[in-house]
Amino acid sequence: MYSLRSLAAQLVKPACLLFLLMFVTSGCKKNTIDQALETDANGYLCNGCKAKFYTERVVFANRCPSCKSMNLVQVVGFVCAADGHVTVGPRGTGSLACEKCGKVTSGLSIPKEVDFKAWGAEKKTRAEVGS
């Protein structure tokens, strides 16, 4: 019969080897998840006046630059599996219809400046968003 301590010791070795193998095989290349999480901007939708805007990556908005409301929602990208198009929409929505083909989106990404511009958002400064 194994004791709890010996069983734990037997499980630690394979777990360490698996972690080491994952670390070594990942190397310096960026995987798909890392690429989806990288961005050069932060996007927002104002729940008050429906203004669409974005800021530089290091700037986080506290208020809407148009109506000064603090009722903002960060936006994310909804990726269409059929055509790869990114549809920008409010975070927490679940999924949206693809703007390009109309199919239900199935993936999430963090949009980049080019996505925010295509969505119709305007770039705002730190002073404009009260950061």
Residue range 5-22, pLDDT digits in tens: 554 455 445 544 445 445
Residue 50, CA distances (Å) to 35, 63, 64, 89, 120 in order: 29, 12, 9, 12, 12
pTM assigned to the model: 0.70
Confidence of residue 108 (pLDDT cuts 50, 70, 90): confident
Domain span holding position 120? 33-129
For residue 10, tell me if it sits in a domain: no
For residue 68, tell me if it sits in a domain: yes
The pLDDT value recorded for residue 97 is 92
For residue 96, tell me if it sits in a domain: yes
Residue 124, CA distances (Å) to 5, 13, 61 in order: 57, 51, 9
Residue range 44-87, pLDDT digits in tens: 999 999 999 999 999 999 999 999 999 999 999 999 999 989 99
Is residue 110 within 8 Å of 41, Cβ to Cβ? no
For residue 50, tell me if it sits in a domain: yes
The pLDDT value recorded for residue 93 is 77
In a 13 Å sphere around the CA of 112, the CA atoms on its Cβ side amount to 8
For residue 6, tell me if it sits in a domain: no
For residue 3, tell me if it sits in a domain: no
* Total number of domains in the chain: 1
Range 115-121 average pLDDT? 94
The pLDDT value recorded for residue 24 is 47
| Amino acid found at 102 | G
For residue 104, tell me if it sits in a domain: yes
Instruction: Please identify which residue in the block is written with the tokens 């290349």.
Output: 29
